[in-house]
Structure 1
Amino acid sequence: MLEPVGTDAVLRWQRLWGVARGLPPADRLDGALRIPYGGATRQLEYLVFDDAAVDDVAALAARTRAAWVTVVTPEPLPISARLAARGLHLRSASETLMAISWADHPRRPLPEGYRAETVRDATHVVTVRVVDATGELAAQGTLAVDGDDAVPDRIETQRAHRRRGLGAAVMSALADRARDEGATHGLLIASIEGERLYSSLGWRALSPVVVAVSRV
């Protein structure tokens, strides 16, 4: 079992994840953050970093349309049960907060027939796009960087281009950007599929993450 992760790591991840997605700053609550996401299926998100806050936050979310509750916790099964007991629908009990030192991130080359393009989307945000010989988008990923921290987000490979090492190549390109901009620490939250990729690149698990959504 993993030990409880420090609040600082959760806050650092969320801040840059929010930057990567162009979100307003989060509001600090007791044991949680309230994030104005603003999407049709995710209007509001609560990020809980203290298990003691779960019940109160779940009660708030249960009364709110399209509200998500994300809990970084070493006890995913009991937390999942507590969220369900407050009327939330469990979306995932198997995501993972992960970290790496960018100096240790390996380099993976692009397969033949592909090339990478890097676009700066904002002051602290870059996107790497991988295209094939016809110029069709094959894979992409975004990176938010500020100070020592860099957070990758939305690492995606198009279905027709999967199982060719493009995800690893995108992560390698993002790692190069992170190092170029002076970042030393990487943080991300991975799905089950993503965790397999990131683990193969040296990312280490810090904590399980549970995600639930309101039913209203």
Structure 2
Amino acid sequence: MRDTEIRDLVSGWIDGWTVSRGAADPVAEPWGWTIDVGQVAQVSRHVLPQPGEAEVRKLVATTSAAGTWLKLFAEDDTVRPWIGAGWHFAPPGYLMTLPLAAVRPEPRPGYTLTSWTRGGVTRVLVRNGEGHFAARGQTAVTGATAVLDQIATAAEHRRKGLGSLVVQTLLATAHGAGADTGILVASPDGQALYRSLGWTTRAPMASLCFQPEKGLSGIPRHG
């Protein structure tokens, strides 16, 4: 993939991600972007679409605030030698895309789905017949791009097609809003689901957090 292409895809991802999460506008840097997130476990993040050793080492050396994240679009093993003490690797992510087309989600017997849009973000909630949480997800459409985010299925409701239902519902909403490309960062487990739905992996993403006094307990694992 060309350097300009990966940078454009990552730019589209962070544009939608900041809307989805209510984060600050990305600040452009020579190596990528800095985003203020404003959470205890994630104060800010630096996103590097083409991380180089010198850039990463400088960021690592100049970081003193716990809860600072690095999102590096490279394999863990590539960037591992550049990382110093106090940094923890979260599970890797995978940047994936899908050309959008009209789709009609298939209902799942025994489950109900509700959705709502507020502040530019559409959320989907799936519950079982007793009203218990089963699955959820959200998307933010920014121009021609729709970023899918925080897709989750409760453990006891997995392997019932609910993840697919959530994704298809979000894609139908995004296509109706004029988006032509879906983008997301998948977890290692989620990558297989998205592949089965036609998504293409574009780049790996190493995810690291600076937390010098403790491990990753309570820290978001990806996305």
| Conservation of the 8 A alpha-carbon contact between 1:107 and 1:169 | no
Structure 1 Cα separation of the partners of residues 173 and 187 of structure 2: 23
User: CA distance change for structure 1 residues 97 and 20 in 2, over 3 Å: closer, same or farther?
Assistant: same
Residue 17 of structure 1 aligns with an amino acid whose one-letter code is W
CA contact (8 A) 1:46 1:69 kept: yes
Structure 1 runs, 4 residues or longer, greater than 6 Å off: none
CA distance in 1, matches of 2:87, 2:104: 41
Residues 110 and 166, structure 1, Cα contact 8 Å, conserved in 2:
no
Distance in 1 between residues matched to 2:96 and 2:61, nearest whole Å: 28
Q: How many residues align?
A: 209
**1:195 corresponds to which letter in structure 2?**
Q
SS of residue paired to 2:65: coil
Matches of 1:196 and 1:60 in 2, distance apart? 37
Q: Distance in 1 between matches of 2:81 and 2:159?
A: 36
1:133 Cα deviation (Å)?
1.4
Give the match for residue 187 of structure 2.
Answer: 191
Q: Give the aligned partner of residue 115 of structure 1.
A: 112
In 2: Cα distance, 1:72 partner to 1:8 partner = 13
**TM value normalised by structure 2:** 0.87
Q: Using the alignment, how far apart are the partners of 2:185 and 2:80 within structure 1?
A: 17
**Gaps (5+ residues) in structure 2?**
213-223
What's the CA shift for 1:87?
A: 4.6
Residue by residue, what CA displacement relative to the aligned partner does 1:183-209 show, whole Å, maximum 9, x if unpaired? 100111111011011111010010010
SS in 2 for 1:135: coil
Shift of 1:121: 2.2
Deviation at 1:90, TM superposition (A): 1.7
How far residue 58 of structure 1 moved from its aligned partner, in angstroms, is 2.1
Q: Percent identity?
A: 28
| Alpha carbons 1:58, 1:86 under 8 Å: kept | no
In the alignment, what sits opposite 1:59? 61
